[in-house]
Amino acid sequence: MAVIEVQVISDIVCAWCYIAKRNLDRAVQLYQKTYPGGRSDTFVITWAPYYLNYNTAPHSVDKLDLAPIRLAHMTPAQRDALGQRMQRAGSAAGIQFKWGGKIGPGTRQAHRLIRLAAAHKDASVQDAVVEGLFDAYHARERDVSERDVLRDIGVAAGIDGAETDTWLDSDADADVVDAEAAMNKEMLKGSGVPEFVVQGTHRLNGVQDPADLLELFIRVREGG
């Protein structure tokens, strides 16, 4: 049995990061189905924080109002083309993007919830929290800076309600998350997210095709 470690550096408000997660899920499934003995191997997937800081206001704002400002460097035609491209890529990954809803002043609390989930022995809890956050923001038009939204996601993923409340009402590990996010932003300056780090040495930036991830997993498994 082998252990394949995958770190993903991402931010919840990044649509490409959601597509990247779905492609990673697909690559792991393909590996376990097609590689000899693959079902006996273990994937250890961790999610590292990155702050895109799309909304610099101290309160939540409508995403549709923010988009023209954030994409001011693009023409309306270019913005439409980008939206269509993202919709196609999302549909291929099983995601139906919705562009409405609000975006909060930051994603620190969302990343803190992922950190809480990662402390659970059952890896499916972290995966459910990450998927729940992405789904809430990108497909359900929910504001993932809101406490009630975060609580719903945590509890739905299997975290005890009282534990979730205590965590969200504290500042536990907030400084750690901030430091990691700052370190990752400095490290990825000029490239951005998503970023995959496989087995601590193989780095891939941007959305990856499941087949390419599968090929890398096999190389790692075979000592490459």
Place 190 in a pLDDT band, splitting at 50, 70 and 90: confident
Distance CA 197, CA 45 (A): 10
CB 212 within 8 A of CB 25: no
Query: CB 94: neighbour CB atoms within 10 A?
Result: 10
pLDDT in tens, 92-118: 999 999 999 999 999 999 999 999 999
pLDDT in tens, 12-49: 999 999 999 999 999 999 999 999 999 999 999 999 99
Q: What is the pTM of this model?
A: 0.97
Q: Which CATH superfamily is domain 3-221 in?
A: Glutaredoxin (3.40.30.10)
Residue type at 151 in one-letter notation:
R
How many angstroms separate the most distant Cα atoms in the chain?
52
Distance of CA 27 to CAs 1, 48, 164, 196, 208, Å? 18, 19, 31, 13, 10
